[in-house]
Structure 1
Amino acid sequence: MLVTAGLVVVGVTGCASGETSSVGTTTTVASALWNPCTEIPDEMLRAAGVDPASEEKGVGGHDQSGWEICGWDGREYSLTVYATDKEVAEFEQKPGNVDFRDVTIAGRPGREFRVAGASKELDCDVVFPTAQGVVQLQVLNRASLDDLTDPCVTIARVGENLVPTFPK
């Protein structure tokens, strides 16, 4: 599965999510991020046009500190869902993220964008604010196929099935 084209992982410093730090007698533990691999039901993935058995956690099977990432493959596109404690503004300020616009999917407001570069016309992303940060939904069309639907049209359609599972 090709998920790197639209990956918008923002650099972080300090403790990663899930790490424990202690100073004196005070201990803090970051709350666990929502996990799309365990929280999105298989029937919703099938309705979104992807195969639940193709699940890939992380990027290339590797976890990313401060993120929960899960992707699935379909015939015409791959679908990836990211959860992080980052804010929408960090996505808007990241160089290479372009063409932001407000959208509403499944009754929920979000910010749609593209990632500049060779795959710009193949990729569409939407970030939805949550209490923890954001959940990002990404559709990446298969470059090897012709006459594909605009990925931003596809993301709106598949989002109708998936967005209701996202945390608020």
Structure 2
Amino acid sequence: MDAAITESPFEPCDDIPDDVIRQLGFDPATEDRDVMGVKQPGRNICFWSGDSGHLSVESNLFELDAVRQDPNFLDLRDVDISGHPGLAFSHEGYREGENCYAATGTQSGLLMVSVDVVDPTERDACVIAHAAAVAFLPYTAR
């Protein structure tokens, strides 16, 4: 990787088609870039909402080991994401079942998907996060 590169070239808001967001149950018209409009250094972030929750995707230059070492992430499990080693995990700030992440390394850095659900008995956040990571992976190659 070029030492001059400071962020992933994958830009989720620009590179993921609206149809893919709709297929996952979220509304492309709710797209929100960055964190409350503020660019996060070294990170490309995009959010979408739907009736049952929220979806976010982040691209950065971290590696899976950085995820493993973050004390805010709990219940880490190794998973396969379209033939790539990945992780599924939750964030300590949520009640059980309300949030799930899926992350994997890509040609352009780390793909990290987060799903929050309003009612965990209706939709499984981990199933959606994994499906989103699988759906988004082809758009990370640039």
What range describes the TM-score normalised by the shorter chain of this pair?
0.7 to 0.9
Taking the aligned partners of 1:146 and 1:67, their CA distance within structure 2 comes to 28
| Residue 129 (structure 2) pairs with residue 118 (structure 1) | no
- Show CA shifts across 1:31-55 (max 9, x none): 6521001000111111111111100
- The amino acid that maps onto 2:107 is A
- The amino acid that maps onto 2:47 is G
Provide the TM-score with structure 2 as the length reference. Answer: 0.85
Matches within 5 A, 1:56-135: 56-135=32-111
Per the alignment, residue 125 of structure 2 pairs with 151
SS of corresponding position for 2:122: coil
Provide the aligned length of Structure 1 versus Structure 2.
139
Shift of 1:120: 4.2
Shift of 1:103: 1.4
Which runs of no fewer than 5 residues in structure 1 stay unpaired? 1-27
Residue identity over aligned pairs, in percent, reads 30
When Rg is computed on C-alpha atoms for both structures, the one with the higher figure is 1
Which runs of no fewer than 5 residues in structure 2 stay unpaired? none
Taking the aligned partners of 2:94 and 2:45, their CA distance within structure 1 comes to 23
Taking the aligned partners of 2:60 and 2:120, their CA distance within structure 1 comes to 33
Taking the aligned partners of 2:93 and 2:7, their CA distance within structure 1 comes to 33
Provide the TM-score with structure 1 as the length reference. Answer: 0.73
| Residue 117 (structure 2) pairs with residue 162 (structure 1) | no
CA contact (8 A) 2:114 2:129 kept: yes
My pick for the range that moved more, 97-106 or 77-86, is 97-106
